[in-house]
Structure 1
Amino acid sequence: MITVATMPLGGPSLPQERRLVTAIPGPRSQELLDRKASAVAAGVGHTAPVHAVAAGGGVIVDADGNSLIDLGSGIAVTSIGNAHPKVVAAVQEQVAQFTHTCFMVAPYESYVGVAEALNRVTPGDHGKKSALFNSGAEAVENAVKIARKFTGKQAVVAFDHGYHGRTNLTMALTAKSMPYKSGFGPFASEVYRAPLSYPYRDGLSGADAAKKAISVIEKQVGADNLAAVIIEPIQGEGGFIVPADGFLPALVEWCRANGVVFIADEIQTGFARTGEMFASDVFGIVPDLITTAKGIAGGMPLAAVTGRAEIMDASHAGGLGGTYGGNPVACAAALAAIDVFENEGMVERAREIGVLLKGRLEALQASDARVGDVRGHGAMIAAEFVDAETGEPDAALTAAVAKACIAEGVIVLTCGTYGNVIRFLPPLSTTDDLLNEGLDVVAAALAAH
């Protein structure tokens, strides 16, 4: 059994510092990695070779006593910070009452409360309803089910560089083969792909990119066959690609005119991450359906589909659900987390973080041509690394920089269709000092390669 001599408390009580007392991985973390190799399926990878024992604010502490700066938030999950006191208290209270009844057997208030909160905070002032699930992929699958039921049509369009999950249908929607799809087919049918607006690489205006995408949709699918268009307002795993202004509104307008359900996948972009409560707000669009997960419940597994009441009500009774969907402990956590997002300045903090991150990364870009693009909104910022002469994606450099950062106690995540993007998703509870120190490490790692 792996132990640490003095087990630190989690949450805000942790010292907010980068501290390396061993190499990464240390001996206790290495012991866990050895056990993982023996017991866990090889397909389950990991980014940082550490054994986490505590986390809070902007740091993760491992079993060897190392304190690492967290610039990933568990892939945008712990946005309000790990072990936030309100979430901890809500979870503890709920666990002592009951852990499960199955909402479809014996309903409970917290599920209804989360649905009410989502109906209130998601974009648009129309009548809405919600259904709760366990994971982002489940939310996406159910959004597609609902759209198909409502429209009576089957086809679904997703976009280049999109990521929507690892289940069979969501793999079909996801664009990138490795590591998400390779060897796992055949995939669900009636899924089509359209070109995304990618300003750094296509040079198109939003209007022109939308015209191109709509032309593909009309020619290859046809509005009469199309149940839904699904898109991340800002791509996540695909590389934090921010579409050109006007692209998303044009798609929404086309969907409205053609009886197609517009689904915004806000699983990574939702809950203050982009400097608005939802990325749809950044672009001034109102989705018909919106999928959420990740940041929704402070680290507890929960996901949702929220949308126009008439669309959400299209499914017959019993057509939506799942044994664990809307688990009461996760719902208690979500109500606490949403309270934090709304009442503890998380949106404003995301904007402040965005200014800091963009300023530092753009300064780095000005001095190093290998930083081809800096983009994003709020606390969802990315740097795309390229060959300085050709502008081609440089995945090897990106991987080397990320590996060097982790070795120096800074957790960063890579992404992008070409594997050449480092994404910055710090907890909104982090400090400017930690952010600046983490970016110092990133700059040093880049300079060393």
Structure 2
Amino acid sequence: MTDTLVTASETSGISQERRIVTAIPGPKSHALTERRLAVVPVGVSSALPVFIERAHGAIVVDVDGNQFIDLGAGIGVMTIGHTDEAVVAAATAQLGEFTHVMFTITPYEGYVRVAELLAQHTPGDFPKKTVLLNSGAEAVENAVKIARKYTGRTGVAVLDHAYHGRTNLTMAMTYKSMPYKLGFGPFASDVHHAPNSYPFRDGLSGADSAARTIAYLEKAVGASDLACLVVEPIQGEGGFVVPAEGYLPALQEWCAANGVVFIADEIQSGMARTGVYFASEHFGIVPDLVLSAKGIAGGLPIAGVTGRAEIMDASHPGGLGGTFAGNPVAAAAAVAVFESIESRGLLAEGARIERLLKPALLALQQKYEVIGDVRGIGAMLAIELVQPGTLEPNPAAVTVITAYAARHGVLLLNAGTWGNVIRFLPSLAISDALLTEALGVLDEALATL
């Protein structure tokens, strides 16, 4: 991994190191912020007002020349690293051939190849088909459309603390009101929120938490009215909540017994993020439909709904698609990402990152009472911050820590229903040295509390 990073760094001209040369934000970022305020609505906010000019591997460089260790990777998008050479080369080559024809008018091979790769790498040994789309929220919307068409039912069930997007339907499916939903209603109807498994807070076994979820679905909703149950195997914006053992298999079994389409939203947890292609594999579940986006194309916008052929074929011709859906440039990048994961053995990098990062976070938990929980799998880890000795969320500590880290060259993301979770989503290209350095900054930030 080190040799690859050195070569990549030399090619890009960006050294894989943290370097702060101005105040954060610097003067050029300040000037750009003034321009931004004049023309971009306040609803499009930024966690850190530094303007990025270049990026490579695990480092992003702002307009003032500051270099940050990126532990957010564009919220899990840059899984194999910023400006990966294979992705850039594939997208560049496709740009020179054609950039758009619209697959539903005149098709092209790239779309088909991405569908083949998704069929190969999503869980389940059965015939599968894929519709390609533009974003994660669009994938969720289309999965619900397909499930409703297949079952002839309308109800949609989701879990507490879930995040599924910002469109009208996906806002209804998302648990947290502020900032995603407040004041934007009325929302799509027939969406039902069931209790989830949250071991740190509910203390329930997988069997008990599944029984609670199923009881709600049966009594408050009615299985015969449900088209689908949409779950994140590891909840993303909800705080990287990993369900108790046995929870997800029990839900899948119930869905199968009641004709409910079981949908895994793997938009944040999929594409090698957790050391396997899709996090569902860790829990022994085989979803009917799997949703992918974020890390699938190295930063280019593309998403997919992949699932059982008989379910995917429920739609009539012309019922699925979109103008830019499965864009040929993004499709070429997606093929390059799949090929890079295979040829460079990148699945192992998720496990490598967990082996270094998780024990270090557990050690920090022993040192600082404010860390109530350490959880996650692979390169998808989190710490939940609480008032020491309690389960009371501590979002103020998250604000202090992320601000300190940013000033010292480390980009951290918050998460969680209460905003009290810090999530770690480094790219698989990050070196052990950069991870260790970032952990040192995190330790310093925690000490300031």
TMscore range, shorter length: over 0.9
What do residues 85-140 of structure 1 show as CA deviations (whole Å, max 9, x unaligned)? 11111111100011100111111000011011101110011110000000000000
Give the CA deviation at 1:211: 0.2
Give the CA deviation at 1:48: 2.2
Alignment of 1:316-395 (within 5 A): 316-395=316-395
Match in the other structure for 2:67: 67
Query: What SS does the corresponding residue of 1:373 show, helix, strand or coil?
Result: strand
Query: What SS does the corresponding residue of 2:96 show, helix, strand or coil?
Result: helix
Task: Determine if the alignment matches structure 1 residue 311 to structure 2 residue 306.
Answer: no
Alignment of 1:24-103 (within 5 A): 24-103=24-103
Query: What SS does the corresponding residue of 1:146 show, helix, strand or coil?
Result: helix
Give the CA deviation at 1:343: 2.0
What do residues 294-313 of structure 1 show as CA deviations (whole Å, max 9, x unaligned)? 00000000000000000000
Query: What SS does the corresponding residue of 1:157 show, helix, strand or coil?
Result: strand
Query: What SS does the corresponding residue of 1:102 show, helix, strand or coil?
Result: coil
Change (3 A) 1:53 1:10: farther
CA distance in 1, matches of 2:315, 2:346: 35
TM-score calculated relative to the size of structure 1: 0.97
CA distance in 1, matches of 2:267, 2:241: 15
Task: Between 238-247 and 335-344, report the one with greater CA deviation.
Answer: 335-344
Query: What SS does the corresponding residue of 1:406 show, helix, strand or coil?
Result: helix
Q: Is the 8 A contact 2:290 2:306 kept in 1?
A: yes
TM-score calculated relative to the size of structure 2: 0.97
Q: Is the 8 A contact 1:200 1:373 kept in 2?
A: yes
Give the CA deviation at 1:80: 0.4
The aligned length equals: 442
Task: Determine if the alignment matches structure 1 residue 125 to structure 2 residue 89.
Answer: no
Query: What SS does the corresponding residue of 1:445 show, helix, strand or coil?
Result: helix
Match in the other structure for 1:443: 443
What do residues 365-392 of structure 1 show as CA deviations (whole Å, max 9, x unaligned)? 0111110000000000000000003231
Unaligned runs of 5+ in 2: 1-7
CA distance in 1, matches of 2:252, 2:294: 25
Task: Between 227-236 and 270-279, report the one with greater CA deviation.
Answer: 270-279
Q: Is the 8 A contact 1:264 1:289 kept in 2?
A: yes
CA distance in 1, matches of 2:428, 2:68: 16
CA distance in 2, matches of 1:400, 1:82: 27
Give the CA deviation at 1:11: 7.1
CA distance in 2, matches of 1:371, 1:11: 40
- What amino acid is aligned across from residue 346 of structure 1 in structure 2? L
Give the CA deviation at 1:342: 2.0
Task: Determine if the alignment matches structure 1 residue 188 to structure 2 residue 188.
Answer: yes
Note the aligned Cα RMSD (angstroms). 1.2
What do residues 301-356 of structure 1 show as CA deviations (whole Å, max 9, x unaligned)? 00000000000000000000000000000000000011112221211000110111
CA distance in 2, matches of 1:94, 1:13: 24
Match in the other structure for 1:258: 258
Give the CA deviation at 1:12: 5.4
- What amino acid is aligned across from residue 299 of structure 1 in structure 2? G
- What amino acid is aligned across from residue 90 of structure 1 in structure 2? A
Q: Is the 8 A contact 1:130 1:306 kept in 2?
A: yes
- What amino acid is aligned across from residue 355 of structure 2 in structure 1? V
CA distance in 1, matches of 2:391, 2:130: 44
Task: Between 207-216 and 351-360, report the one with greater CA deviation.
Answer: 351-360
Match in the other structure for 1:4: none
What do residues 392-426 of structure 1 show as CA deviations (whole Å, max 9, x unaligned)? 11011111111111111100000000110000000
Task: Determine if the alignment matches structure 1 residue 156 to structure 2 residue 179.
Answer: no
Query: What SS does the corresponding residue of 1:422 show, helix, strand or coil?
Result: strand
Percent of aligned pairs sharing the same letter? 59
Q: Which 4+ stretches in 1 moved above 3 angstroms?
A: 8-13
Q: Is the 8 A contact 1:11 1:83 kept in 2?
A: no
